[in-house]
Amino acid sequence: MAAPTAHEALIYLMVVTSAADREMTDIELTRIGEVVRTWPIFLDFDADKLIAVAQDCQAMLQEPNGLEDVLDVARKAIPVHLHDTAYAAAFEVAAVDLEMRLEELRVMQLLRKHLGVDALTIAAIERAAKARHKMLT
């Protein structure tokens, strides 16, 4: 398999986050699609390729050391100046259902480690995502 593009690697991180608890919910999958369709980082990405990219990621996850391999190839494919954006995209998926399971927390910890995003940036990203997903009731 060829190395993923930066766009594909960003999607990999969202898929990994969604799949962390072995249950990719409809709300998480919908949010991945919304991020790909609406975030400026994806303006020049063909959204019709989203499902194929997600399937490539799922196939990698099934291999021995799958999660570590996905995180490694994603880190290499995503330019350093976009590591905070990568973390934000992944956290967006984790926060969408307002419930962060232990497995998702573990993946977010691994992402922080692999991407090297500083603590203040992490806190700001997480706070903003949580604020966006709050409900009135």
Q: Which residues of the chain have pLDDT under 50?
A: none
Q: How many domains does the chain have?
A: 1
Write down the pTM of the prediction: 0.92
Domain membership flag for residue 34: yes
What domain range is 72 assigned to?
6-132
Instruction: Kindly report the length of the chain.
Output: 137
The 3 state secondary structure assigned to 51-96 is HHHHHHHHHHHHCCCHHHHHHHHHHHHCCHHHHHHHHHHHHHHHHC
pLDDT of residue 75: 96
CATH code of the domain in which 122 resides: 1.10.3680.10
Provide DSSP, 15-26: HHHHHTTS---H
Domain membership flag for residue 97: yes
Inter-helix orientation angle 66-77/102-115, to 10°? 40
Domain membership flag for residue 96: yes
Domain membership flag for residue 43: yes
Query: Is residue 118 a contact partner of residue 46, using CB atoms and an 8 Å limit?
Result: no
pLDDT of residue 73: 95
pLDDT of residue 41: 96
pLDDT of residue 137: 65
Domain membership flag for residue 137: no
Domain membership flag for residue 1: no
> Which residue, 22, 24, 32, is CA-closest to 89?
32
